Structure 1
Amino acid sequence: MDIILSSTFPALFAIFIFAAMVRGFSGFGFTLVALPLSALFMPVIELVPVFMLIDLLGNVQLLPKVRRHVDWKWVAKVFIPCFVFTPVGLLLLKSVEQDTIVLIISVFIFASALMIQKGFQYSKEPKFAPFILGSLAGVMNGAASMSGPPVGAHALASPVAPHIARAGLIAFFVLADSSAFVSASIAGLVNSNLVILTAALLPSSMLGGYLGSQLFERYGGKKFKPVTVILLITIAIFSILRVI
């Protein structure tokens, strides 16, 4: 595959290491980081299925370490609507300009992170938020493999311990990325070149995921929420400025 032999590949490899470190620490954010940075080097639409598969494999790598902390009821409430609305996002991927998708996602990321940074938190178990945010996650999952922002915001707004929130996010993304990848395959977005590129980039994801997990074990209790919020705001601003 041409891209593997090109001067772009080392940059993608480094980007994927950094993005996987973010995912290993926070439980989400791989595509959130990798998409805008990768867009500096090549059309992102060519990489969306790669993001899906790499993110899936990366979260499968992390899941055994956190499975005992997963609240599967919480996961189900956001995954079911995400699963239903993922095909809607795939339709957008084929019919809407890439910059438009990135801009809409970035504005939502910024608004959600700003609310959480200012102290927004659920006062009790929400009834409709999981369905609304899960549905939005599905649209974003299909359109750009970026279901993280709404579900991440939902987790950060929930009054649970960092290790519980992170475990729920990792479990959610194993399910969400699996469904998105199957949908992308049915839609004809997956081919042999994608599998080859994914295999070439997989070591970067595994290394980054390991490093991110080590950082969480050392600093996650105190730094999980502020670092994740700062990450969301920074990436949102960067993405908006790039599109504008």
Structure 2
Amino acid sequence: MEFLAGFSALQITVAAIATLGAAFIRGLTGFGFGILLVPVLALAITPVEAVLALNIMAGLLALSEIRYVLREAERSALTIGALVLLATLPGFMLLDATPPAIARLLIALVALSAFVAVLLPRRGAHLPGRLTTGLTGISAGLLTGFAAMPGPPVVPYYVGRDIPRTTAKASMIGIFGVAAMAGIGSGAVVGVLQWRIVILGLALFPLVMLGNWLGSLAFGRVGDKAWRIFVGVVLAAAAGAALFKLL
């Protein structure tokens, strides 16, 4: 039975529940929206539809937080964001050419890689070199196009350093906002951005705002150590759930 823009009632229900939960985590951690939501959405709709719907919601959310990003983000976010813009389209073209079953498996593995990266020893507060920053931006762009997940390289870049969590969160939000816009543009260029996906993203956006607001309230009540531990738990849960559903 079709319910909204050609999607079934079951698909909409799964999308709504997953969106609310992922938005809460995003409000608390500054990331995790794509890592948590895309693997679940990609089991209810096609991976391409999941990535585009996610980018629409994430792009709108980032626009609502632009003042926070400009005030708190690290300057490195500008460099990484620019590289994300350049590398997103090739990643999306790869997704469009990949069979859905293989794409779902690769997306789950991307989520797992983010958890492994966060487990690496923490570094000092110093800014990484140009090579590390460049590779982070390019890989984040490719993963934005392929899985709407710029997080696996970006999260360790900021969370893995001894910098204030407010700086880390704002920097990640800024980059993920740029990534979302690049993902939407890539979908339009490739010709797979359909109106029904736009409608789905817009219909779910109020849940994104609600979940993100609740998560932001929780962000102000936890310490740095608890926040970093929660980041690792979220990544582990996302990767484990995605792999479990595939198997």
Give the TM-score normalised by the residue count of structure 1: 0.89
Identify if the C-alpha distance between structure 1 residues 123 and 30 changes in structure 2 by more than 3 Å, giving closer, same or farther: closer
CA distance in 1, matches of 2:25, 2:116: 20
Aligned partners of 2:84 and 2:142 also within 8 Å: yes
Q: 1:75-224 counterparts in 2 under 5 A?
A: 75-96=77-98, 97-115=102-120, 119-122=121-124, 124-127=126-129, 128-219=131-222, 221-224=224-227
SS at match of 1:218: coil
Number of equivalent positions: 240
Aligned partners of 1:163 and 1:221 also within 8 Å: no
Q: Could you tell me which amino acid in structure 1 is paired with residue 73 of structure 2?
A: V
- Aligned-pair CA distance for 1:14: 1.5
Measured against aligned partners, the alpha-carbon deviations of 1:76-121 in whole angstroms (never above 9, x if no partner) come to 2322222221112112111223134214413422320222xxx332
Cross-structure match for 1:42: 45
Aligned partners of 2:42 and 2:104 also within 8 Å: no
Show structure 2 runs of 5+ residues with no match: none
- Aligned-pair CA distance for 1:220: 5.3
CA distance in 2, matches of 1:228, 1:103: 17
CA distance in 2, matches of 1:91, 1:196: 23
CA distance in 1, matches of 2:46, 2:149: 16
Identify if the C-alpha distance between structure 1 residues 138 and 63 changes in structure 2 by more than 3 Å, giving closer, same or farther: same
The percent identity for this pair of structures is 24
Aligned partners of 1:79 and 1:176 also within 8 Å: yes
Deviation >6 Å, runs of 4+ = none
- Aligned-pair CA distance for 1:31: 1.1
Q: Could you tell me which amino acid in structure 2 is paired with residue 120 of structure 1?
A: R
SS at match of 1:126: coil
Measured against aligned partners, the alpha-carbon deviations of 1:108-155 in whole angstroms (never above 9, x if no partner) come to 22320222xxx3324743212111121111110001111112101111
Q: Could you tell me which amino acid in structure 2 is paired with residue 130 of structure 1?
A: T
Aligned partners of 1:17 and 1:208 also within 8 Å: yes
- Aligned-pair CA distance for 1:20: 0.6
Identify if the C-alpha distance between structure 1 residues 220 and 55 changes in structure 2 by more than 3 Å, giving closer, same or farther: farther
